[in-house]
A and B are shown apart, each in its own frame.
Chain A
Amino acid sequence: MTVALAARGLGKRYGRRWALSGCTLEVPAGHVAGLVGPNGAGKTTLLQLAVGLIEPSAGSIAVLGEEVAATPAQLARVGFVAQDTPLYASLSVADHLRLGAALNPRWDAALAQARCARIGLDRAQRAGTLSGGQRAQLALTLAIAKRPELLVLDEPVASLDPLARREFLQALMEFTAEHTVSVLLSSHLVADLERVCDHLILLAEGHVQLSGEVDELLASHRRLSGPRRDSARLPSSQQVVEETHTDRQSTLLIRTKEPVIDPAWTVEEVSLEDIVLAYMGRPAGDPELVKVGQ
């Protein structure tokens, strides 16, 4: 299995509005892919299409090499943690685990028990009385104890405090270290994703703006600042992502595979957050710049 998720010309329309359109992307298996973008960019729509909760209005989407379909066989291979980690408020922790065992053919009871013990969840406690962090951890436990090959999480840490957020991501990363699994998670906070993701997909206004490996994104972008210069006069190996000029100075964010040797520029490395923000401001889905690492 080499591809965790593949979309081709994928689109979803609600009434007259396209929540997602012309989405073509591929996420290799064995990676932790981060889906970023502003609110309303189509992140949740893409994730719901990936797990078969909704059907595409255009194009196609496949997970783990198979067209998405809500068949029992495929559902067993995909784990999903929806936004706000929904649980049954009146059921206890133990009830949730029993439910998981009854509903999932590959349920790993030992893993579920071990994780509950480690987080310090009281098995008799009702889910409705758990803290936000505990609730998220229980939802994650249920999703990973079904032993999915692809784990999809929609904004799993958005509502958590920084400590609970770190603990959640630690648990998620430990799981990926111990088991062969692909992960796709969305967030509007790039800083959360920088450590945990090795692949990044940027959505804005229903389009894919950027998709590639995090290391490659960081290695191929630089900020140049120096005396004012027309960006059309840059070498052809340097693509301008973002530019600002004052009457004396130019500041450019460029993508290049070669070192910048022009001594007039001060060259700086750029954080993932800066890269994401620069691409967000670009016109929708500039095809020349979408894919990194080709």
Chain B
Amino acid sequence: MIEFHLDSRSGVSPYLQLVHQVRHALRLGLLREGDQLPTVKDVVARLAINPNTVLKAYRELEHAGLVAARPGVGTFVTGSSLADPALAAHGPLRRELRGWMVKARRAGLDEESIEALFRDAVRSARIEGVA
């Protein structure tokens, strides 16, 4: 079972934060097929959050085929569609990124510059994808 948390300063809507946290847990293998998500009532009670927000997040996950609701029982993780291929790719990618970090450090970049560069690259890639 995973536990949700909310960051109220992020500018990301609460329902998307819940969606991201489930996707993240799936990617890291923290959630596996058959695992149950906390009930709407549990999440509401824990986070003092609007029940519609939780329902919306669960609906979106269901729509993406990641979870399935069993009426009267709860919401369960269906497939490991995110986990397996993604997890396998993690190791090599992480190693490449580490290597790149070493290069960046050698070039004299501090952590802030590295993060800025990384964010900028992610954004440029996204823009190229859109255009």
Interface residues of A (CB under 8 A from B): 30-32, 166, 169-170, 173-174, 176-178, 191, 194-198, 214-215, 218-219, 259, 261, 263, 267-271, 274
Interface residues of B (CB under 8 A from A): 6, 8-16, 40-41, 44-45, 47-53, 56, 123-124, 127, 130-131
Structural contact, A196 and B50, CB atoms closer than 8 A: yes
A98 to chain B, nearest CB (A): 29
Structural contact, A263 and B127, CB atoms closer than 8 A: yes
15 contacts between A and B (CB under 8 A): A32-B52, A170-B44, A170-B48, A173-B45, A177-B41, A195-B48, A195-B50, A195-B53, A196-B48, A215-B13, A261-B127, A261-B131, A263-B124, A270-B11, A271-B9
Residues of chain A within 8 A (CB-CB) of B11 are 218, 268-271, 274
- Provide the main secondary structure of the chain A interface: helix
- Provide the main secondary structure of the chain B interface: helix
B118 to chain A, nearest CB (A): 14
Cβ contact of A173, chosen from B6, B8, B48, B131, cutoff 8 A: B48
Residues of chain B within 8 A (CB-CB) of A169 are 48
Residues of chain A within 8 A (CB-CB) of B41 are 174, 177-178
Structural contact, A173 and B15, CB atoms closer than 8 A: no
Structural contact, A259 and B130, CB atoms closer than 8 A: yes
Structural contact, A177 and B48, CB atoms closer than 8 A: no
Structural contact, A197 and B12, CB atoms closer than 8 A: no
Knowing A178-B41, A215-B13, the reply to whether A198 touches B130 (Cβ < 8 A) is no
Cβ contact of B40, chosen from A32, A177, A215, cutoff 8 A: A177
Residues of chain A within 8 A (CB-CB) of B16 are 215
Residues of chain B within 8 A (CB-CB) of A214 are 13-14
Structural contact, A218 and B44, CB atoms closer than 8 A: no
Residues of chain A within 8 A (CB-CB) of B51 are 173, 176-177
Cβ contact of A197, chosen from B15, B50, B56, cutoff 8 A: B50
